[in-house]
Amino acid sequence: MSKGLIKRVGGAERKYVEEVLATDFANSKNCGILARFEKAFAQKFDVKYAVAHTNGTATLHSALYAAGVRAGDEVITTPLTMSATCMSILQADAVPVFADVVEDTFQIDPRSIERIITPRTKAIMPVALYGLSPEMDEIMEIARKHNLVVIEDAAQCFLGKYKGRTVGSIGHFSSFSLQSTKHMTAGEGGLVCTNDADAADLVRRFSVLGYGSVSRAKGIITKDDIQNPNYERHVQMGYNYRMPELCAAVALGQLEHLEELVERRMDVAALFLDAIGDCSWLRPQATPAHCVNSYWAFTARLVSSDIKWTEFRKKFMESGGDGIYAAWMLSYLEPMFRKATLDFAGKEKVIEATHKGTLQTYEKGLCPVAEKIQPQILAFKTNYWDWDRALAQAEILKKTIEQLT
């Protein structure tokens, strides 16, 4: 049955954008759209506070600051993720320490986390990769035992579930991205979520140049604040990461039909799963029974020694398939981590000063499971707003498998 065409950007987005434009961007006519969006997002994601940002990298930086991560602290994360995860750790002058992943789910392995905790470890940054939650109960238990802060990077996971809980509501902080490929978008954008009121104040101030008059609930500086010669503006160092109101307007509209947007991706993933069937050499990312995978992308591992990744992609595309994405190079194998070319934009000096040779060695062999599966992963788009196109892609996938079997 055809599920029809979904309008990714609809009437609500346009209505809210009009509302912002009608203010002429005059402070006195501010329509409060940023606060409305933050409140609605927090409600939808089962958290007390959501602080909107310019993007989902800035959010990680703010969360690390509010988590108390400072120069030389270690943050444990996965190497199998988009680069922003570990870049944000470096932006915070902290040191990324990489844990290995679980072969069938691709998610950070709690047992590996436990093995690399040191007295300098301050936080864990798990990533809900491709829309699936990591094993959060185990991660939270490790954090409790070692007094660590957990920052969920949920950039790729909207309305995913872990044991009935919404992904992004479990850690001490979570971070979402509204970049254009994500489940909901404002072109760019992001949010930090937390249930801790003081932490939300810290996030807010860090993300708006350290202004003292803003807080978890107040994202803008008012006339009463600034029209006072004695107004002391900056109580701390901060960055300019505030989400523009036009983005908040689009995002508020997106939030109103987020279920539809997520459901479409899950339905498309179900088509691809069906197309793979019981193929022995193509293994879909495993979704444990206690998780709902929100399928930012549909992924499978090519485990055949006879078929090459590039050959599969070529065959798929020759039959009319859209492109297939590879998994990102593991973060620590990127050129910026290589000794000869090491370039952390000056952060390496902080790391050298604080670690003096005790650093994890960023080279092959560090995370064997991640190294094994990264070259095997095929990632298929799930953002088909036209259902018939999705059906055709699934059919092409089935045909490609038949041809190669």
Ligand X SMILES: Cc1ncc(COP(=O)(O)O)c(C=O)c1O
Phi, psi of 292 (to 5 degrees): -110, 120
Residue whose CB is less far from ligand X, 79 or 397: 79
Other beta carbons less than 10 A from residue 229's beta carbon: 5
Q: Least Å distance between CB 90 and ligand X? A: 13
Residue whose CB is less far from ligand X, 84 or 200: 84
Q: Which residue among the candidates 15, 44, 48, 182 is catalytic per the annotation?
A: 182
Applying CB under 6 A, does 139 fall inside the site for ligand X?
no
Other beta carbons less than 10 A from residue 289's beta carbon: 5
CB under 8 Å to 402, separation ≥6 — which residues? none
From residue 37 to residue 76, what is the string marking binding to ligand X with x (rule CB under 6 A)?
------------------xxx-------------------
Residue whose CB is less far from ligand X, 282 or 330: 330
Applying CB under 6 A, does 155 fall inside the site for ligand X?
yes
Applying CB under 6 A, does 82 fall inside the site for ligand X?
yes
Question: Cβ-closest residue to ligand X?
Answer: 56
3-state secondary structure 73-99: CEEEECCCCCCHHHHHHHHCCCEEEEC
Maximum Cα–Cα distance across the chain: 76
Rounded to an integer, what distance in angstroms lies between the CA atom of residue 82 and that of residue 110? 20
> Which region among 151-159, 275-283, 352-360, 385-393 touches ligand X (by CB under 6 A)?
151-159
Say if CB 154 and CB 84 are below 8 A apart. Answer: no
Binding to ligand X in span 185-214, by CB under 6 A: 190
Rounded to an integer, what distance in angstroms lies between the CA atom of residue 75 and that of residue 345? 18
Residue carrying structure tokens 């599966």:
373
Residue whose CB is less far from ligand X, 58 or 302: 58
Helix/strand/coil percent split, the chain, to 5: 40, 15, 45
Query: Pick from 51, 69, 84, 330: which binds ligand X (CB under 6 A)?
Result: 84
Binding to ligand X in span 250-289, by CB under 6 A: none
Rounded to an integer, what distance in angstroms lies between the CA atom of residue 87 and that of residue 83? 6
Please say if 182 is a catalytic residue.
yes
Rounded to an integer, what distance in angstroms lies between the CA atom of residue 168 and that of residue 161? 9
Applying CB under 6 A, does 160 fall inside the site for ligand X?
no
Applying CB under 6 A, does 177 fall inside the site for ligand X?
yes
Residue whose CB is less far from ligand X, 299 or 354: 299
Applying CB under 6 A, does 81 fall inside the site for ligand X?
yes
> Which region among 15-23, 130-138, 152-160, 329-337 touches ligand X (by CB under 6 A)?
152-160
Q: Least Å distance between CB 319 and ligand X? A: 29
The DSSP bridge partners found for residue 228 are none
Residue whose CB is less far from ligand X, 85 or 121: 85
Buried b (16+ CB within 10 A) or exposed e, 379-397: bbbbbbbebeebbebbebb
Applying CB under 6 A, does 85 fall inside the site for ligand X?
yes
Q: Which residue numbers are catalytic? A: 182
Which residues here bind ligand X, judged by CB under 6 A? 55-57, 81-82, 84-85, 127, 153, 155-156, 177, 179, 190
